[in-house]
């Protein structure tokens, strides 16, 4: 399965993420999901989470222009 936004392969953990309200799979990688995580309540399988599922920090957000 691939991320709907950036087309990368999803990990087992990412592929289990569903919305609580509808039960539909979100199909977003962790990197893309971080942009909507405050707006969507989800349920997932934390037992499938591995180190590779940790969201990478975007250091460009801290840069001052």
Q: What is the pLDDT of residues 4-62, one digit of tens each?
A: 999 999 999 899 999 999 999 999 999 999 999 999 999 988 888 877 776 554 444 55
Q: Residue ranges of the domains in the chain?
A: 12-55
User: Tell me, what's the pLDDT at 9?
Assistant: 94
Answer yes or no: is pLDDT of 1 > 70. yes
E strands in 1-65: 18-19, 42-43
What distances in angstroms separate CA 62 from CA 31, 57, 58, 59, 65, one per listed residue?
17, 10, 8, 6, 10
- Taking the complete model, does pTM exceed 0.85, yes or no? no
């Amino acid at each position: 399965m691939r991320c709907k936004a950036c087309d990368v392969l999803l990990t087992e953990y990412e592929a289990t993420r569903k919305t609580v309200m509808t039960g539909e799979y979100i199909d977003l990688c962790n990197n893309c999901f971080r942009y909507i995580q405050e707006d969507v309540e989800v349920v997932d399988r934390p037992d499938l989470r591995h180190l590779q599922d940790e969201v990478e920090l975007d250091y460009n957000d801290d840069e001052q222009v």
